[in-house]
Amino acid sequence: MLISIFALLVSVDAAPLESAFKPDEITVACERIEKVNETKLSEIVAVPNDKRTFQNTVLAIENASTDYYDAVSRITFMKEVHEDPAVRAAAAKCEERSGKYLVNVGARKDLYLAMKAYLDDAGKTDTLDPQDKRLIDVTMRDFKKNGLELSDKDRDKLIGLRSRLTTLQTKYSHNLDESKLQLEVTKEELDGLPEAFIARLKPAKNPKKLVVTTQYPDYFPVMENAKKEAIRKKMQIAFMSRGAKENTKLLEEAVKIRSEAARLLGYTTHVDFVTADRMAKSATNVEQFENRLREGLKPRLSAENEKLRALKAEETKQKNPKLFSWDWRYYLNQMKKKDYALDDEAIRQYFPADKVFAGMFEVYATLFGVKMAEVPGAKVWSKEGVKLYEVKDAKSNAPIAKFYVDLYPREGKYGHAACFPLGLARQTGEGYQIPMSVLVTNFNPPKDGKPAYLSVNEVTTLFHEFGHVMHASLTTAKYAALAGTNVSTDFVEAPSQMLENWVFRPEVLAKISVDPADATRAMPEDLAKRIIEARKFDAGIKYSRQVFLGTFDFKIHTGSGKVDTDKVAKQLWKEIMGTEQDRKERFSASFGHMMGGYDAGYYGYLWSEVFAADMFTRFEKEGVLNPSVGRAYRDTILAKGRSEEASALLEQFLGRAPNESAFLEGLGIQGAAKK
């Protein structure tokens, strides 16, 4: 069995993922993949310096790196989705091992010297195309950030710090995924929740109570609909306490290590280190960006908070009630019902998951000139909501990519929505290796023969995350390091954020919805109009919360010495959001982005939204379902990946320098963002 698994792992041209992993096989395969990579790297180092070429040095390093990633990521991904906890645990150990191994590989001086030898000799006269040169620039930049210009002593110290960081990050995310925190409540305590929600809950040991988990499909409905404040408070504290026993300490140690590593490399803070090669360029620019948005949003946030306070006063009969962290989702939902006659839970019936997927596929197919079809009989890791699809070019019928979807929550499964790239696209001697990715969500599952239904927020999330799938799938870059979503982190969200706009267009709502009173029709035009009008009714709170998240990230990664992340979170929430948190809430224990690759980079969600809004202006002008504009977007933004700077791609697509006007106008504020 091991041989067949390993053969699959090292031949990843979008072949189906193996679902029959056993824990001991994972451990052995993880070790063997590493040994194979070591052999490849040793062969590169052994090339005489006077015989070095682009192919046997630069490309060889890139290919070895990609082979390793393709193989090991297919194992470590099982940590996020596999039904067997023993498999998830073994995959988590492999992730920790591979993380430490990659730290060492990235800091190998012999590989760095091999690159230098090539650049000092043949590299001066070789005729290279722009992507070849770009690959060299990216590779050398990464060597520098991995400490190859440090002394041997300092480089060894950096390796030790980053190896420890890998352990901390794996433990943190594993604690979140494996959290079994839940509430046991009576039906009466769930006053305000839809009957369909209550009907799907499992009974508790106490026959008079029901189990409510802290997973998204339970958390959001409770926070948005539960009339009893005590239940919302319990849910908020439980949700924010996932992993709290260990995770706050893990994050704080990680913050300290990141700061030490940044200073070792000559950067003032971890934010300066992270942003140096991104669009933001410095911690100062990030801080100014967050502060401008914070100030610009204050009037709107204040007005929205006053509306929520008035609603709470009316409902609770209190004269001047306080707003707490467990109130805003609920009272925003009440405001939406009152001002726009929209009930999120009632609207679900218009968005059956199958219809949404079919309509979304049609939209993306029209825009990007592709077609998507399910692969029958594919091996999957769960029979519940996991499917494999193939993407083909509509004109040539040539395969472009494959992707899985994993839609519904399970115990131990990754708890958010995300796109995981597993097989990276690249040019090989046998042709172009098409990419493979996985779309992971946690939507309410079908029950008792009834289909799964999505809320407007979930539909928006789906369009966003599938935008990442398309970004990964439609790349044509020569090298994996430059392909698909391997772009600057403060730009990577822009393509997906831009595609969220389609959900709020009448011509798209007509494709993704069904009128429950007449299955042959889409939702009524009046309902579609109200959904569109209500899109940014909560912009003050929504974007201020994003400022809070980005500012929290910035503060903990620019401090000196030990950082009390819980104290920072509570202080910033009150300062920025203007409401209160409970002392039992442990936000920093459950903010997975801080230990999942977005550390010192969370500002990128808002930063990239500036570009997303600007890109959408072209579609607004020329047609949101215009295949010509969609093709231009595919060829310019999606296909090129990181083969060119993001700013250059934006200018090519827009025909002008990007600006912030569309973003600001959408928020109704001025002077709040800057590129």
User: Is the pLDDT score of 1 beyond 80?
Assistant: no
pLDDT digits (tens, 9 = 90+) for 503-513: 999 999 999 99
Distances in Å between the Cα of 311 and the Cα atoms of 322, 419, 433, 509, 585 are 11, 38, 56, 30, 24
260-275 mean pLDDT: 96
pLDDT band at residue 561, thresholds of 50, 70 and 90? confident
Mean pLDDT computed over every residue of the chain: 93
In this prediction, residue 598 carries a pLDDT of 93
Mean pLDDT of 445-462: 92
Q: Which two tokens stand for residue 222?
A: 């409770």
Q: Which of helix, strand or coil describes residue 215?
A: coil
Tokens of 478: 């020569």
User: Is 465 annotated as catalytic?
Assistant: yes
Average pLDDT on 422-447 reads 94
For residue 675, what pLDDT is reported?
Answer: 42
pLDDT at 123: 85
DSSP letter for 352, please: B
Read off the pLDDT of each residue in 357-372 and give the average, rounded to a whole number. 97
Could you give all domains of the chain from N- to C-terminal order, each with its CATH number?
2-106+108-145 (1.20.1050.40), 179-240 (no CATH), 349-537+622-636 (3.40.390.10)
Q: According to the model, what pLDDT value does residue 22 have?
A: 87
pLDDT at 341 (0 to 100): 94
Q: Give the model's pLDDT for residue 476.
A: 97
Average pLDDT over residues 85-110: 95
Short-list 255, 261, 93, CA closest to 161 = 261
pLDDT of residue 635: 97
Does the predicted model carry a pTM greater than 0.75?
yes
Q: What is the mean pLDDT of residues 418-443?
A: 95
- Mean pLDDT across the stretch 454-483? 97
More confident of the two residues 668 and 485: 485
How far from 212 is each of 181, 209, 304, 566, CA to CA, in Å? 9, 10, 30, 26
- pLDDT at site 20: 60
523-531: long-range pairs with CB below 8 Å, 24+: 523/350, 527/347, 527/350, 530/340, 530/341, 530/342, 531/342, 531/347, 531/456, 531/504
Exactly one of 189, 465, 500, 609 is catalytic; name it.
Answer: 465
Mean pLDDT of 571-583: 94
Radius of gyration of the chain (CA): 25
What is the share, in percent, of the chain residues with pLDDT greater than 90? 86
Nearest to 66 by CA among 392, 436, 418, 601: 436
Q: Give the pLDDT mean for 274-302.
A: 94
Residue range 299-308: average pLDDT?
A: 95
Mean pLDDT of 245-273: 96
12-47 per-position pLDDT tens digit: 444 445 556 789 999 999 999 999 999 999 999 999
Q: State residue 73's pLDDT score.
A: 94
Q: pLDDT tens digits, residue range 127-173?
A: 999 999 999 999 999 999 999 999 999 999 999 999 999 999 999 99
Alpha helix (H) ranges present in 449-538? Answer: 456-473, 494-499, 506-512, 525-533
Instruction: Determine the 3-state secondary structure of 451 from DSSP.
Output: coil
Which whole number is the average pLDDT over 628-632? 98
Residue-level pLDDT at 667: 82
